[in-house]
Amino acid sequence: ELANRMAERVAAVVKALMNNGMMVTQNQVIDADTAELIIEEFGHKAVRVSDADVEDVILQIEDDEKDLKPRPPVITVMGHVDHGKTSLLDAIRNAKVVSGEAGGITQHIGAYQVQADGGQVLTFLDTPGHAAFTSMRSRGAQVTDIVVLVVAADDAVMPQTVEAINHAKAAEVPIIVAINKIDKPSANPDKVRTDLLQHGIVVEGMSGDVQDVEVSALKGTGLDELLEAILLQAEILELKANPDRPAQGAVIEAQLDVGRGPVATVLVQNGTLRQGDIFVAGEQWGRVRAMENDKGKRLKDAGPSVPVEILGLHGTPEAGDVLNVVETEAQAREIAEYRQQLAKDKRAAAGAATTLEQLMANAKADQSVKELPILIKADVQGSAEAIVQAMEKIGNEDVRVRVLHYGVGAITDTDVGLAEASGAAIVGFNVRANASARASANQKGVEIRYYSIIYDLVDDVKAAASGLLGSEI
């Protein structure tokens, strides 16, 4: 590859490497410093593609306040299984599809837009589930403005409800509670409200500031009220973007289609994406050959908060990858190749997983970080709560432990996802990680520590927090 790029003979490059004491074969990977040495020996000039170069190409244009225009809110629906997330998403879509819109038949592209009675547009991510939410975050995409937390009125708060609350809190995204299934005779919405109190969610009726709406996804009641609540929250957030700049977005879904090649649903977050635009999306690049919205309508351009399905990728990106429009194909290819190489290197180094100590070292380098995020799983609720209390006592005004999530049961993939997204370590108290969580923790470099004595745990975390501060606490 190196010989190729320099337009030199492979044998000559291998020989030069050997002369430098490196016994290599022609397909062996060499490090960048060695490559640079060899390149110079051949009288060429090495141009390294660095993180900084990539940042340069992907212009992080600071938008001028005066260029910012209001944009629709982007909403994710979360909640416990069977509480009605899918039903609610379907009910909203069916009730609010703008009549007369091309075909009117919505296709599943991972997100859709609806129009409220007042004409305001809302974008819903059509992929309920917490894993999707955190895996997006862990890949650098913060796409959700508002979380709608669905809680079934005949069931109240369940483990995944709590998990959803913690995910939303970790991402600092405001929550609106949709109390679902109020059509059921056994519905008890007040139980939901009081249950939520225990998890730090105080609804407006209980003098808190979290909006709650009673709905029935089945009967279609309360949907307008829910949309109104979302729009009110959106107004408070003052969501804005600049439509007059090269697009930046996030990949919501992507797959390889037999007939059409790689297809990705992209949510435009800033700027306007146009047909013909050249872009990078994570480790992939492409040129927008065609774009369709969620109603299957062909689009020439898509502005902020618009989800579109795009064709013209050279590979399949991953959900959560960030998309940036760049100027030239050469730039796009170079950035994609650079990132692929980086990912390869990272996989190679995956053996050296992040440890609590390393996490601390990193945090230290970044002076602004004075929080030690952790996730706690325990065998029984009592232990989990005792540990959280102990954790809250650790620290002082300069450093503190932040418990992102705690719960009962084995450590799962979702826990690992949340930990990765927030740079946290996981603590297992008398519980283990399941096989798939272990594998994914290994791969993602998330540290899992096991304890059976609270004192040991407190000591370790204290030491880590002291390390973070650089002095005893």
Q: Which stretch binds ligand GDP (CB under 6 A): 100-108, 119-127, 175-183, 398-406?
A: 175-183
Q: Which stretch binds ligand GDP (CB under 6 A): 178-186, 333-341, 371-379, 390-398?
A: 178-186
Q: Which is nearer to ligand GDP, 89 or 403 (CB)?
A: 89
Q: Does position 339 bind ligand GDP by CB under 6 A?
A: no
**Closest C-alpha to 176, from 166, 186, 165:** 165
Percentage helix, strand, coil for the chain under 3-state DSSP, each rounded to 5: 35, 25, 35
200 is in an annotated binding site: no
**Closest C-alpha to 309, from 284, 280, 288:** 288
Pairing of strands 74-79, 69-70: unpaired
Q: Which of residues 73-102 bind ligand GDP (CB under 6 A)?
A: 79, 81-87
At closest approach, how far in Å is the CB of 83 from ligand GDP? 5
Q: Which is nearer to ligand GDP, 182 or 325 (CB)?
A: 182
Q: Which of residues 41-80 bind ligand GDP (CB under 6 A)?
A: 79
**Burial (0-12, 13-18, 19+ Cβ within 10 Å), 92:** buried
**C-alpha distances out from residue 89 to 111, 114, 253, 320, 417, Å:** 10, 11, 17, 21, 24
Query: What 3-state DSSP class applies to 309?
Result: strand
Q: How far apart are CA 125 and CA 127, in angstroms?
A: 6
Instruction: Write phi, then psi, for 361 (nearest 5 degrees).
Output: -60, -45
Q: What is the DSSP letter of 199?
A: T
Q: Which is nearer to ligand GDP, 78 or 210 (CB)?
A: 78
- Map residues 246-285 to x or -, x wherever contact with ligand GDP holds by CB under 6 A: ----------------------------------------
At closest approach, how far in Å is the CB of 305 from ligand GDP? 24
Q: How far apart are CA 457 and CA 375, in angstroms?
A: 13
Instruction: Write phi, then psi, for 59 (nearest 5 degrees).
Output: -60, 115
Return all residues near 457 (Cβ < 8 A) that are at least 6 apart. 387, 390, 427, 429, 449, 451
Q: Which is nearer to ligand GDP, 126 or 447 (CB)?
A: 126
Q: Which is nearer to ligand GDP, 180 or 354 (CB)?
A: 180
126 is in an annotated binding site: yes
At closest approach, how far in Å is the CB of 160 from ligand GDP? 9
Q: Which is nearer to ligand GDP, 13 or 89 (CB)?
A: 89
The residue ranges of DSSP E strands in 271-316, in sequence order, are 273-274, 278-281, 284-292, 298-299, 301-302, 307-313
Q: Which is nearer to ligand GDP, 215 or 425 (CB)?
A: 215
At closest approach, how far in Å is the CB of 217 from ligand GDP? 4
Q: Which of residues 217-236 bind ligand GDP (CB under 6 A)?
A: 217-218
Q: Which of residues 102-161 bind ligand GDP (CB under 6 A)?
A: 128
Q: Which stretch binds ligand GDP (CB under 6 A): 47-55, 103-111, 215-223, 328-336?
A: 215-223
Q: What residue type is assigned to position 49 of the chain?
A: V
467 is in an annotated binding site: no
- Map residues 359-378 to x or -, x wherever contact with ligand GDP holds by CB under 6 A: --------------------
85 is in an annotated binding site: yes
Q: How far apart are CA 126 and CA 282, in angstroms?
A: 22
At closest approach, how far in Å is the CB of 90 from ligand GDP? 8
Q: Which of residues 183-212 bind ligand GDP (CB under 6 A)?
A: 183-184
Query: What 3-state DSSP class applies to 69?
Result: strand
Contact between 435 and 461 (Cβ < 8 Å): no
Q: Which is nearer to ligand GDP, 178 or 424 (CB)?
A: 178
70 is in an annotated binding site: no
82 is in an annotated binding site: yes
Tokens encoding 130: 């917490």
Q: Which stretch binds ligand GDP (CB under 6 A): 119-127, 180-188, 250-258, 456-464?
A: 180-188
Q: Which is nearer to ligand GDP, 93 or 184 (CB)?
A: 184
At closest approach, how far in Å is the CB of 213 from ligand GDP? 12
**Closest C-alpha to 265, from 378, 136, 83:** 136
84 is in an annotated binding site: yes
At closest approach, how far in Å is the CB of 182 from ligand GDP? 7
Location of structure tokens 């005792």: 386
Q: Which stretch binds ligand GDP (CB under 6 A): 17-25, 132-140, 213-221, 323-331?
A: 213-221
Residues in contact with ligand GDP, counted by CB under 6 A, come to a total of 16
92-94-95-99 Cα dihedral, nearest 10 degrees: 130
The continuous run of DSSP H or E covering 267 comes out as: strand 261-270
**Closest C-alpha to 73, from 392, 297, 302, 304:** 304
**Closest C-alpha to 153, from 222, 205, 83:** 83
At closest approach, how far in Å is the CB of 86 from ligand GDP? 3
How many residues would you count in the chain? 473
Q: Does position 180 bind ligand GDP by CB under 6 A?
A: yes
**Residues within the annotated binding site for GTP?**
79-86, 126-130, 180-183
Residues in the annotated binding site = 79-86, 126-130, 180-183
Residues that bind ligand GDP (CB under 6 A): 79, 81-87, 128, 180-181, 183-184, 216-218
